[in-house]
Chains A and B, each alone.
Chain A
Amino acid sequence: MDASAAVMNYPRRDARDKLSGRTRYTVDRSRPGMLHGAILRAQAAPARIVRLDVSAAEATPGVRAVITGRDAPGLHGIGVADQPLFAIDLIRHQAEPLAAVAADTMEIAKAALAAIRIETEPLPAAVTMEQALRPDAPLVHPDWTSYEVLFEGGGRSGNIAWEATVVRGDAEAAFSRPDVAIVESNFRIGRQNHLAFEPRAVIASYEDGRYHIETSTQVPWTVRNVTARVLQIPASSVRVTVPPVGGGFGLKFDCALEPFAALLARKSGRPVKLVNSRQEEMLTCLCRENAELRIRSAVTGDGEIVGREAVVLMDCGAYGGEQIFLTTMTAHTLLGNYRLGSVKLVSRAIYTHTAPNGAFRACNGVYNTFALERHTDEIAARIGMDPLAFRRRNVLGAGDLGATGQVFEGDALGPMLDRMAAVKASRPSRKAQAGRRLYGQATTVGTWFVFVGPSAATINLHSDGSASVITSGVEIGSGTMVQAVPQIVAAELGLRPEDVIVRAADTDAAGYDVGVGGGRTTVSLGAASRAAAIEVRRKLLAVASQMLQTPAEKLELRDGRIEIAGIRGSGTTIAKVAQRAQELLGPLSGVGAFTNSPVVSQPGCARGHFIEALEIPIFAVHDCEVAVEPETGHVEVLSYTVVQDVGRALNPRAIASQIQGGVAQGLGYALHEEITLDEQGRIRQTNLETYRVPLATDVVPVEIHLHEGAPSRGPLGAKGAGEVPILNVAATVGCAVARAIDRRVEQIPLTPPRVLAMILDKAPAVRLPHIAERWEDNVLPRPARKS
């Protein structure tokens, strides 16, 4: 097949209904006899539950079901099963669920919650990671040793939920060399809220002995499996279907309200709808986590990085969740981008008495890239080298070793830096626009990846010449399920994309899928769909070959027809062949599957990592110019330019939309979005007034250049394009502001008060006393591993 047949600016098929208000998201749906659910959430934490009496709620007229921790005994988690559905005995964070009700109306449900009697006893708190790491810190999970470990290899101890390390080469020797400069940087980062417009929402029912969960999620199979785990029921008794999702960004990459609704439906015998209020969304958002980092490098005078060591503390909140997995990604991001002679890294997920964090578009890659690129600028300044020249000299290219000893294929970052330089040389600087303000400019590099994993697809080719694709893919707004997937299938089958129907996710109908996130949708679901289409094509050609008395290899499929190669009008329509096939063999179908293939890292070098090497890395080069007002610290972005590695751009216009949107989210993170916690571990920003996301007047048009041709196992050489645009935005803005004001930028967001304090030298340097001076003192003692 000619790959270019799949490349087009195919428009979205769901735009029409979305524009006219007719799309039914989960929040817009209802069912006959449906009840309204509500959750009682903890006001204060940590605390011991002395008494939880729901009898008055149960006795309230119109209340059909009340559930508590007794109804859901199972623990779930990623890496470690540490999380119950409801707080049982211990409340570990504010807004943790205590009980839930289903009632005829929302008013009755709320009244029933108010009737629940709860007595608690306050416990000593560990709200910050510094507090949690003290030797005498209260343990967030006193029973941590009893938990089931779901993935082996991580270090664990007390409030250290997970520890992953990378040791490669002789860093000690590198740092002792007489010819190196040693540069150390510290960073502290806050939380970011996704603010998906559709809150987490679900309607569940219990029919014929099975649960049907209709939900706003990115991960139907995780919902199925986690619901089964916490309810202690067979996973096969749970069916998950997913309507259009009103924004995810990683927030919905975990099971959320679904088990509550399922339990309430079972207990009441009625469908139950459960929707988070905006305040609940803010208090229980699975934020991009706050983090604290120290990074230290040994660099020679001519700019060779001979050693790098780092300690990264990631706040997972009260439960490990995604952060346990994300310790893995520090190696590939904070220690990514550049050739390193030797490496020592420890990445720790720390339990605190705060709301759990989660996954958010490019996850910790975003702040790790910020920290790495700022550190890189500090190195360049120290050795007196131009920061761009330093990057050009050190970026990973073909055959270079990554942090964990994987050998990278192909040159991407070098040519992408060259492309950015050419773009910048072709147009004037915006410096004049800064006027009397301080001007800064920076070019940064970033590395992220495709979270490949298993996907499945089935395609039915119908006798009318249309095809339907059945997968567990979800349309969250990125467009993959309405653009890339039908484009790929149509190209393979010689159809128009509009002839390809894409079924909404249903775990009863489609095979397992990791979920929509991690930049994997086009790659994994696209590849599985393509494999299914190839099987259909083979069967179709076999029948066409008979009909046209021509060998299959001399036939081609396009424009809804099968032709003898090179002779237009010589063949017949695909519909006629499909009809013939149906008569001869029965309806035509094909199945496809895809998963990751092993990529080698250096044995023995990474411990506690879920992924030791990147199968499909994605690279990005960003540039921005800023103007900083010296009297107020206000930062204006004057220009923003992206060169993004996309493998092959299947829908360039849709990719550009993802880049514009991802950069805007990154600008919010860099400049004004931050979730902060008070002394009791409570989230301060509970609505859109206190959590400020970018408005139309805050953004700039992003100049976009797509870099094609880097190697990818994705279908037709594609890579994920929607996740990575946010990756280096904080890095680029942070470096540009640091240069503009000639100060060390160690924190984001760069709000006017923070920038002004730096300009006035009133911003204290970030100090991390809970990170020990010697790298080894930040690592749990572990038995030596056999090599």
Chain B
Amino acid sequence: MSISLTINGETHATNRDPLTPLVDVLRDDLALTGAKAVCREGFCGACTVLMDGQPVVSCLLPIASAAGRDIRTVEALSDGGELSPLQKALEQHDVVQCGMCFPGMTVALTSFLASNPNPTREQVKQSLVGNICRCTGYERIIDAVLAHAQAMQGGG
């Protein structure tokens, strides 16, 4: 039976097993390799996507449960090749290292900032507990997020 997925605004029909994790369809069938299958158990957050605006780990999301929902991947954050303001802040603060965790982290932070536009340092830290980074030691990411949030507030 075919399952219809709405990904980054486009509809895709797939005949894969309904229990197939969404991350496999994104990566193997749609060439959306931004979501990384690092642990495949929901611990690392590197495969985070937005489902109806909420962050979910796509390694634990069977495609049957994603059917008919609005799925946005990291690739949609920089639509048309233009980085989102958050991504620009992370770029400007030079916080990226190996980069494997950043797609998932950027998706999670985008959702977090949408509901917490003016967070405290502690709130940003708490928001990142589902996104492991092995390279950076986090603090500079948090600096960049706070600077970005402040700039957005300042800019109205």
Which B residues between 28 and 47 are near A, CB-CB below 8 angstroms? 32-41, 43-44, 46
Contacts of B58 in A (CB 8 A): none
Contacts of B34 in A (CB 8 A): 20-22
Number of residues on chain B facing chain A (CB within 8 A)? 52
Asked if A477 and B135 sit within 8 Å, CB to CB, the answer is yes
Contacts of A19 in B (CB 8 A): 78, 83, 87, 90-91, 96, 99, 102-103, 106
Asked if B94 and A20 sit within 8 Å, CB to CB, the answer is no
Mask for B58-86, Cβ within 8 A of A = 1, else 0? 00000000000000011101100001000
B136 at the interface (CB under 8 A from A): yes
Q: A644 → chain B, closest Cβ, in Å?
A: 14
Asked if A661 and B137 sit within 8 Å, CB to CB, the answer is yes
Q: A35 → chain B, closest Cβ, in Å?
A: 14
Contacts of A653 in B (CB 8 A): 94
The residue on A at minimum CB distance from B38 is A197
Contacts of A654 in B (CB 8 A): 94
B115 at the interface (CB under 8 A from A): no
Asked if B103 and A21 sit within 8 Å, CB to CB, the answer is yes
Contacts of A478 in B (CB 8 A): 97
Which A residues between 448 and 506 are near B, CB-CB below 8 angstroms? 476-479
Bound Cα distance A405, B90 (Å): 48
B129 at the interface (CB under 8 A from A): yes
B5 at the interface (CB under 8 A from A): no
Asked if B94 and A11 sit within 8 Å, CB to CB, the answer is yes
Bound Cα distance A656, B97 (Å): 12
If the complex has contacts A197-B100, A654-B94, are A687 and B39 also in contact, measured as CB distance less than 8 A? yes
- Identify which of A28, A247, A695, A700 contacts B98 (C-beta below 8 A): A247
Asked if B126 and A28 sit within 8 Å, CB to CB, the answer is no
Bound Cα distance A11, B44 (Å): 26
Number of residues on chain A facing chain B (CB within 8 A)? 55
Bound Cα distance A476, B106 (Å): 20
Contacts of A194 in B (CB 8 A): 134
Q: At the interface, is chain B mostly helix, strand, loop or mixed?
A: loop
Asked if A11 and B138 sit within 8 Å, CB to CB, the answer is no
Contacts of B77 in A (CB 8 A): 20
Which B residues between 112 and 155 are near A, CB-CB below 8 angstroms? 124-126, 128-129, 131-142
B22 at the interface (CB under 8 A from A): no
Contacts of B74 in A (CB 8 A): 20-21
Bound Cα distance A662, B139 (Å): 12
Asked if B139 and A702 sit within 8 Å, CB to CB, the answer is yes
Which A residues between 639 and 679 are near B, CB-CB below 8 angstroms? 653-654, 656-657, 660-665
B101 at the interface (CB under 8 A from A): yes
Contacts of A18 in B (CB 8 A): 96, 99, 102-103
Asked if A198 and B140 sit within 8 Å, CB to CB, the answer is no
Contacts of B133 in A (CB 8 A): 696
Bound Cα distance A248, B97 (Å): 11
Which A residues between 184 and 207 are near B, CB-CB below 8 angstroms? 194-198
Asked if B41 and A699 sit within 8 Å, CB to CB, the answer is no
Asked if B97 and A657 sit within 8 Å, CB to CB, the answer is yes
Q: A275 → chain B, closest Cβ, in Å?
A: 9
Mask for B7-23, Cβ within 8 A of A = 1, else 0? 00000000000000000
A689 at the interface (CB under 8 A from B): yes
Contacts of A512 in B (CB 8 A): none
If the complex has contacts A197-B101, A479-B97, A695-B129, are A21 and B35 also in contact, measured as CB distance less than 8 A? yes
The residue on B at minimum CB distance from A653 is B94
Asked if B128 and A695 sit within 8 Å, CB to CB, the answer is yes
The residue on B at minimum CB distance from A247 is B98
Contacts of A27 in B (CB 8 A): 33, 36-37
- Identify which of B35, B41, B135 contacts A688 (C-beta below 8 A): B41
Asked if B136 and A661 sit within 8 Å, CB to CB, the answer is yes
Bound Cα distance A15, B89 (Å): 11
Bound Cα distance A62, B44 (Å): 34
The residue on B at minimum CB distance from A658 is B97
Asked if B78 and A20 sit within 8 Å, CB to CB, the answer is yes
Q: B84 → chain A, closest Cβ, in Å?
A: 9
Asked if B87 and A20 sit within 8 Å, CB to CB, the answer is yes
Bound Cα distance A28, B97 (Å): 18
Identify the interface centre among B78, B128, B133, B135: most chain A CB within 10 Å of its CB: B135
Asked if A196 and B91 sit within 8 Å, CB to CB, the answer is no
Bound Cα distance A22, B138 (Å): 22
Contacts of A195 in B (CB 8 A): 134
Asked if A695 and B132 sit within 8 Å, CB to CB, the answer is yes
Contacts of B128 in A (CB 8 A): 695-697
A701 at the interface (CB under 8 A from B): yes
If the complex has contacts A27-B36, A197-B134, A693-B134, are A660 and B101 also in contact, measured as CB distance less than 8 A? no
- Identify which of B41, B75, B78, B98 contacts A198 (C-beta below 8 A): B98
Q: B26 → chain A, closest Cβ, in Å?
A: 10
Asked if B129 and A688 sit within 8 Å, CB to CB, the answer is no
Asked if B100 and A15 sit within 8 Å, CB to CB, the answer is no
Bound Cα distance A23, B38 (Å): 15
Asked if B75 and A21 sit within 8 Å, CB to CB, the answer is yes
Contacts of A702 in B (CB 8 A): 137, 139
Q: B136 → chain A, closest Cβ, in Å?
A: 5
Contacts of A661 in B (CB 8 A): 97, 135-137
B95 at the interface (CB under 8 A from A): yes
Contacts of A25 in B (CB 8 A): 100
Contacts of B142 in A (CB 8 A): 696
- Identify which of A22, A24, A693 contacts B75 (C-beta below 8 A): A22
Bound Cα distance A654, B135 (Å): 12
Contacts of A14 in B (CB 8 A): 96, 99
The residue on A at minimum CB distance from B130 is A695
If the complex has contacts A15-B91, A198-B100, are A660 and B129 also in contact, measured as CB distance less than 8 A? no
Identify the interface centre among B37, B91, B98, B138: most chain A CB within 10 Å of its CB: B98
Q: B23 → chain A, closest Cβ, in Å?
A: 12
The residue on A at minimum CB distance from B125 is A696
Bound Cα distance A430, B90 (Å): 30
Bound Cα distance A654, B136 (Å): 11
Asked if A688 and B134 sit within 8 Å, CB to CB, the answer is no
A576 at the interface (CB under 8 A from B): no
If the complex has contacts A660-B137, A697-B126, are A23 and B99 also in contact, measured as CB distance less than 8 A? yes
- Identify which of B97, B126, B139 contacts A699 (C-beta below 8 A): B139
Contacts of A244 in B (CB 8 A): 98-99
A245 at the interface (CB under 8 A from B): yes
Contacts of B41 in A (CB 8 A): 278, 687-689
- Identify which of B27, B37, B138 contacts A696 (C-beta below 8 A): B138
Identify the interface centre among B27, B83, B91, B126: most chain A CB within 10 Å of its CB: B91
A74 at the interface (CB under 8 A from B): no
Contacts of B46 in A (CB 8 A): 197
Task: Spell out A's residues near B (CB within 8 Å).
Answer: 9, 11-12, 14-16, 18-25, 27-28, 194-198, 244-249, 277-278, 476-479, 653-654, 656-657, 660-665, 687-689, 693-697, 699-702
- What 5 A-B pairs come out closest when comparing CB atoms? A21-B34, A477-B98, A18-B99, A664-B137, A197-B100
Task: Spell out B's residues near A (CB within 8 Å).
Answer: 27, 32-41, 43-44, 46, 73-75, 77-78, 83, 87, 90-92, 94-103, 106, 124-126, 128-129, 131-142
Would you mind naming 22 contact pairs between A and B with Cβ atoms under 8 Å apart? A11-B92, A18-B103, A19-B78, A20-B74, A20-B75, A21-B35, A22-B34, A198-B38, A198-B100, A245-B98, A246-B36, A278-B38, A278-B40, A653-B94, A657-B95, A661-B135, A663-B137, A688-B132, A689-B41, A693-B132, A696-B129, A696-B142
Known: A653-B94, A688-B44. 18 other contacts (CB 8 A): A15-B99, A16-B83, A19-B102, A19-B106, A23-B99, A196-B98, A196-B134, A197-B38, A246-B99, A248-B98, A477-B135, A479-B97, A656-B140, A657-B95, A664-B136, A687-B39, A697-B128, A699-B139
